[in-house]
A and B are shown apart, each in its own frame.
Chain A
């Protein structure tokens, strides 16, 4: 059974973003919500099986685990060291408040002495930079949170 706290967040998400329908599937768990006009949303399909919510894998304080945060942003496509600029003397690629497009280079991740430019993959405005310069990052780790256009 989907818990009430999650259900409340989903409903708030719908209202905040003026969504009429929301259909979520997570492995065995499904949930479909539909808003009737401006009234309270109605739960349509009951969830299937309970998903065991084990604690996300903990790592060191320097590398927070990618705990399935679904808010929009840029996730790391690889394992390596995060750099905000192309070199120590250059300004950072992006800062909070910058508008970005899917092809905007937002950072560099270095792995095995190779420096890889990372493209945003989303369009919007940079809300927060979630990683420090020269910090190690893992696959799937959230690097920037982005407010979509």
Chain B
């Protein structure tokens, strides 16, 4: 086991990693930028190192400063958390060069699953359904028609080098596909300076389902079931739950098993999340693989009883997974609400600043993962998430009712948070029924 781990992150995940290390008897060294000088979790670390000014480039994603921090604190491993350098293969390689363990996959395994094309190839070999689409940019209309015929309408034409909804055209037949291709190309050229487009299957209403996998360096990979993360706004998750409601048990089983197979076949060690879209016909399609621990890992921990961060550290230290697939079962239902310092009543305007009141809920099945306390000042320099409320109940109905109650007990002020919106969602009929699609929240906010 490692002697000392350098935590190359901040906020709630830094605190989460500190806690896991303490349970493993591993010392902690935590980096911080000058904006996080007064962060409360720093007092819980054995060592702290100021690595720079607030901009991430000068601090949390500054590779040489982070490696130096590991060197001066004599740390034998670095935990990157999520975001920042967590999925940076160059950083993982730098750690290896400096003989510091990286709590995550090798740069090669990270590349194998992180690169969409390579990932899809491995997925097909693992008998995992892949999101159908053209492999590369579409050269001409006839090729587009051929691809659309193969994958079935409706399809979407997407700009290869851009996003934000531009250079995109949905097509329901060959005619609209041809015209859509031309106008998408034109728009992409104008917006991104590159008219390259590709064709992908379009799902009218899809759910975002992801499978948690843990793999060790001894060839074992175990899945911890799935999460439903369909409640999103601008591609940012707001509420997650496990397991996913209204999923055919046989399909769930198949897809979870193939996710574990995919991760094992890639020679991947650590925690990985296989992200998929689920259509109305209960078909799963692989989107991508996230080669890191995720924000929403607690809902999986609540239903399986597995400590994902501790296990991550154990496998990174070369230990075998302490359980087999047959030891994993899902009990009850868990829901997570991301508490963001944003004002939902004002178009989610960020609400940084001092927190005077931070009254947390409690009781059976209520968990708070947050670095914030009364007296903490939310810095304006980083993302707005100040904590997570995770609630477990024996059934989904109990979990929802318990979450609503916990949110109502959770008083944070004077900054604004997403709590009022989340209370509203717990009472929303569609949400209570379960199985809403990824556009549900945005439709609700518009209407």
- Which chain B residues numbered 29 to 61 have a C-beta less than 8 Å away from chain A? 32, 34, 37-40, 42-43, 46-53, 59
* Dominant secondary structure of chain A at its interface with chain B: loop
Q: Say yes or no: B73 contacts A136, CB within 8 Å.
A: yes
Asked if residues A112 and B98 are in contact (CB atoms below 8 Å), the reply is yes
Q: How far is the CA of A18 from the CA of B99 in the complex (A)?
A: 55
Give B92-104 as 1s and 0s: 1 = Cβ < 8 Å from A's Cβ atoms. Answer: 0000001000000
Q: Is the CB of B37 within 8 A of A112?
A: no
User: A54 in the interface, Cβ–Cβ < 8 Å?
Assistant: yes
User: Please, what's the 1-or-0 string for A44-87, where 1 marks a CB less than 8 Å from any CB in chain B?
Assistant: 00000100101111111001011010000000001111000000
Q: How far is the CB of A48 from chain B (nearest CB, A)?
A: 12
Residues on the B chain within 8 Å of A148, using CB: none
Contact A54 B64 (CB under 8 A): no
| Least distance between B423 CB and chain A CB atoms (Å) | 28
State whether B52 touches A63 (Cβ < 8 A).
no
CB of B377 within 8 A of CB of A52, answer: yes
Which of A49, A136, A139 counts the most B-chain CB atoms under 10 A from its CB?
A: A139
Q: Is the interface of B mostly helix, strand, loop or mixed?
A: mixed
Asked if A79 meets B43 with Cβ closer than 8 Å, knowing A56-B37, A57-B37, A136-B73, the reply is no
A80 vs B71: C-alpha distance in the bound complex, in angstroms? 8
Give the distance in Å from the alpha carbon of A59 to the alpha carbon of B50 in the complex.
10
Residue of B nearest to A137 (CB): B72
Which of chain A's residues 90-149 have a Cβ closer than 8 Å to chain B? 111-112, 136-141
Give which listed residue, A54, A60, A78, A80, contacts B38 with CB less than 8 A: A54
Measured between beta carbons, the chain B residues less than 8 angstroms from A63 are 47, 49, 72
Q: State the total of A-B contacts with C-beta under 8 angstroms.
A: 84
Contacting pair A57 B72 (CB below 8 A): no
Q: Which of B183-199 contact A (CB under 8 A)?
A: none
Q: How far, in Å, is B106 (CB) from chain A's closest CB?
A: 21
For residue B33, which residue of chain A has the nearest CB? A139
**Residues of chain B with a CB closer than 8 A to A66's CB:** 34, 37, 50
Asked, given contacts A54-B40, A54-B375, whether A59 binds B68 with beta carbons under 8 Å apart, the answer is no
Could you say which of A52, A56, A136 contacts B354, with CB atoms under 8 Å apart? A52
Q: Which residues of B contact A140 (CB under 8 A)?
A: 34, 50
- How far, in whole Å, are A137 and B67 apart by their CA atoms in the complex? 13
Contact B98 A58 (CB under 8 A): no
Question: Nearest Cβ distance between residue B198 and chain A, in whole angstroms?
Answer: 40
Interface size class of B (residues with CB under 8 A): 20 to 34
Q: Which residues of A contact B50 (CB under 8 A)?
A: 57, 65-66, 79, 138-141
Please give, as numbers and ranges, the residues of chain A lying within 8 Å of B43 by CB-CB distance: 55, 57-58
> Residue of A at shortest CB range from B66?
A79
* A-side contacts of B64, CB under 8 Å: 111-112
- Identify the closest chain B residue to A60 (Cβ): B47
> A138: which of B38, B49, B98, B354 is its contact (CB, 8 Å)?
B49
Q: Does B65 contact A (CB under 8 A)?
A: yes
Q: How far is the CB of B390 from the nearest CB of chain A, in Å? A: 26
B331 to chain A, nearest CB (A): 39
Please, which residue of chain B has its CB at the minimum distance from the CB of A140? B50
* A112, B48: Cβ atoms closer than 8 Å: no
Q: A54-B38, A57-B32, A57-B42 are in contact. Are A78 and B48 (CB under 8 A)?
A: no
B15 CB, nearest partner CB in chain A, Å: 13
Q: A61 to chain B: closest CB distance in Å?
A: 10
Point out the residue from B46, B52, B377 that lies within 8 Å of A139, measured CB to CB: B52
A-B contact pairs, 10 of them (CB 8 A): A57-B38, A57-B43, A58-B43, A58-B48, A63-B72, A65-B37, A66-B37, A79-B51, A111-B64, A139-B53
Known: A57-B42, A136-B73, A138-B72. 6 other contacts (CB 8 A): A56-B38, A57-B48, A58-B43, A112-B68, A112-B98, A139-B52
Measuring CB to CB, which residues of chain B are less than 8 angstroms from any residue of chain A?
32, 34, 37-40, 42-43, 46-53, 59, 64-65, 67-69, 71-73, 98, 354, 375-377
